[in-house]
Amino acid sequence: MKVNGTPFRSLWWDQDAGALQIIDQRWLPHEFRIQQLNSLADYCTAITDMHVRGAPLIGATAAYGMAFALREDPSDSAMQAAYDQLHATRPTAINLRWALDRASAAMRPLTPTHRAEAALQLAHHIADEDVEINRRIGTHGLALIRAIAETKPAGEPVRLLTHCNAGWIATVDWGTATSPMYQAHDAGIPIHVWVDETRPRNQGALTAWELGSHGISHSYITDNAGGHLMQHGQVDMVITGTDRTTRAGDVCNKIGTYLKALAARDNGVPFYVALPSPTIDWTVSDGIAEIPIEDRPEHEITHVQGRAQHGIATVQVTPEGTPGGNPAFDVTPARLVTGLITERGICEASEAGLAGLFPDMAAR
């Protein structure tokens, strides 16, 4: 996608510097900053402190982190140490483990002298693969939006609601939930997107920044406004992303997603999840019982960052001494999900549905 007319991915390898460049998302939507990662500690901090965020992007970053570590020391022990450090950064998004397992499995049979370059090429491949996966998700999601548009009077927009940021800066490019939106807009289908603010980190502001940059009509709304809009017929479809999905179709996504699914079910609004296959955890069947939910620092609840008169500032919004509780994700049961939009097509949120599209993965 483009920022001020210049094409960007959310991360890229700088051949001259021999280092990974990332968009430091902590400063968006107010400032666009690029950060170079120069140590394994930089990679770990970038993931833990959400310089990069979004399950697909975390996975790609971790793949480059393994490549960096193997350039420094290609031994078995160093590779395992790098795996452990990167794996410990965030517990919920499965793409992190998926990328690390993929890199580790590919590198172990190689002699140490060949590992660094092979790991870097694999990281490039994972990044390019993510772009193509998300493009194809958008193609399938576009068909859903087009079908709704065909039922509307000419010129009336398809009204979509999304939660958190599952856009191009949460992936390598295109995004998951936003990819159908971009493709619908580019195809000339009028859409309007209700963008949840997504407390506590207000990641909806990132979605609004993305959509505005692409010229897509949108409104930034409070997290609690979605049910009201659905009750009054102002939402045609909900599309969210996912950080981990069980083999049975339960979806783990940013906190508050479950409430949107409940409101959608109560009001007969289709609730779809844009699902890249690396986010499927085939080892888990019960999302509520088995998926670890990350508890993030309480200051994300008690303080808010925004643009002030003299630049970006952080302010406290709670009484002094009030503690905060900050579960970062929740699980939406498969029974509340209308369908899963994947790179291979759309399926029901069930083990049979997923296995039908991904028999090669389900059988492992």
What are the catalytic residues?
243
| SS3 assignment, position 8 | coil
Q: At what angle do helices 76-87 and 94-107 cross, to 10 degrees?
A: 170
Quick one: which of 165, 170, 171, 238 has its CA closest to 206?
Answer: 165
Handedness of CA 277, 347, 170, 91 (dihedral sign): negative
271-293 residues labelled b (16+ CB within 10 A) or e (exposed)? bbbbbbbbbbbbebeebeeebee
Whether the CB-CB separation of 195 and 219 falls below 8 Å is answered with yes
What are the distances in angstroms from CA 328 to CA 64, 162, 198, 208, 294?
A: 25, 17, 11, 20, 6
CA distance 161 to 156: 16
CA distance 259 to 244: 17
What are the distances in angstroms from CA 92 to CA 54, 55, 108, 243?
A: 11, 9, 26, 7
Quick one: which of 14, 34, 9 has its CA closest to 23?
Answer: 34
CA distance 96 to 102: 10
